Every structure is written in C-alpha cells, then in structure tokens.
Amino acid sequence: PFLSHPHSPSLFLFPSGLLVATVVQADGLRAMDRNGKSDPFVELDAQPAVVHSTRVVPKTLSPVWNETKYVLIQEPKTQSLRVACFDHDAVNVKELLQVNVLKGAANILGSKSLIGRASFNVRDLEPGVTADEWFPLGLGELGSEDGSGGAGANSREGRVRLKLTYFPWELLYSKQRQAQCGAVLL
C-alpha cells in the first residue's frame, strides 16, 4: 500500500508483512584468502536501504551461523530477498599495494569481496509455513534474466542454506500469541 506524505511529492511504501530469515550455514564456498579459506559472512536485504548482516566466521569454506534476521516486506507479490555472501578482509591488500592516498583508510581497512549471491521471490513462500532450502550462489547480477545463482549443486561459488517464513500482518493479527518481545513500527 502506498501513502503520500503531505509535505513531499514522493510515495512511501509501508510494510505488509514480516519475513523471518534464518541464515543457517553455507558450504562449498570459494577460497578467497591465501590460506585456501575464506572469512565468510552473509548480507540479506529486501530493500537496499536496510541490509542485515551475519557475523564473520573466520577461516572456513563451510560456515555455520544459525542467525535469525527479521526483514520487513512491502510488496510480497513482487519483492525478492537478496542474499550475498562475502569474504571479510581486515586489510584490503589490493588497495594497500596501490597506496592511493585519495581513497583513504576506509577503503583499505575492513573490506569485503563477493563470494556469490542469490535471490528468492517472497511470493514463492506459503504464508506461515517455513521453507528450509539451499540456494546456489553465483556471480550473476541480481537483475539478470538467468538469475544470480550458480549452476545448482555444482556451483563453484558454493551454496547457502536459509530457513524462511513469511508472515503477512493478517496472519500475525489473526492468532492470539503470547509474546516475549515485539516490534513497534512508526
């Protein structure tokens, strides 16, 4: 649903539901470091302005996170969850070797390199039912007709396992629950 703010000509999109996304694990990731390993972490988003990140798991090609993120969904029929797996580097060696003073320390310290990405359409989820799936990671662009994921289980970039449950507000409001925590949306 769209709502126009009285002081702005732009339109605002309001959430119509909540996607509970658990980043479980990954395997078969590509080695990005000289030690033959990676320091992987995952970023999730359904809108580019709000990115959810997991912690970095050092020196592995098969990380386990088991981290749950709560992603607000505005348009479940057209919106996708974008997943990107990165390698974390404390120091970006490429930038350090170029010694570019104009780029500054921000580009040298705490950099990330893309291992692979995938996307998933929210409309493919049955409301209230948890899907537990492996997604192949690829280097394709998110908007590509062929998709961003790799070639199934044989992807050279690896794969990531997610547990996804979409709750439209109507489903959440229709059931009486005993909540120990909650969210306030303004």
* pLDDT tens digits, 134-184: 999 998 877 665 556 655 545 679 999 999 999 999 887 776 666 666 666
Please choose, from the candidates 175, 172, 177, 134, the residue with its C-alpha nearest in 3D space to the C-alpha of residue 20.
172
Q: Please report, to the nearest 10 degrees, the dihedral formed by the alpha carbons of residues 68, 48, 19, 141 taken in order.
A: -90
- The pLDDT of residue 108: 54
Rounded to two decimals, the pTM is 0.77
Task: Write out the two tokens for 128.
Answer: 């209230």
Task: Write out the two tokens for 160.
Answer: 């990531």
Task: Write out the two tokens for 91.
Answer: 């120091």
pLDDT per residue as tens digits for the range 47-62: 888 999 999 999 999 9
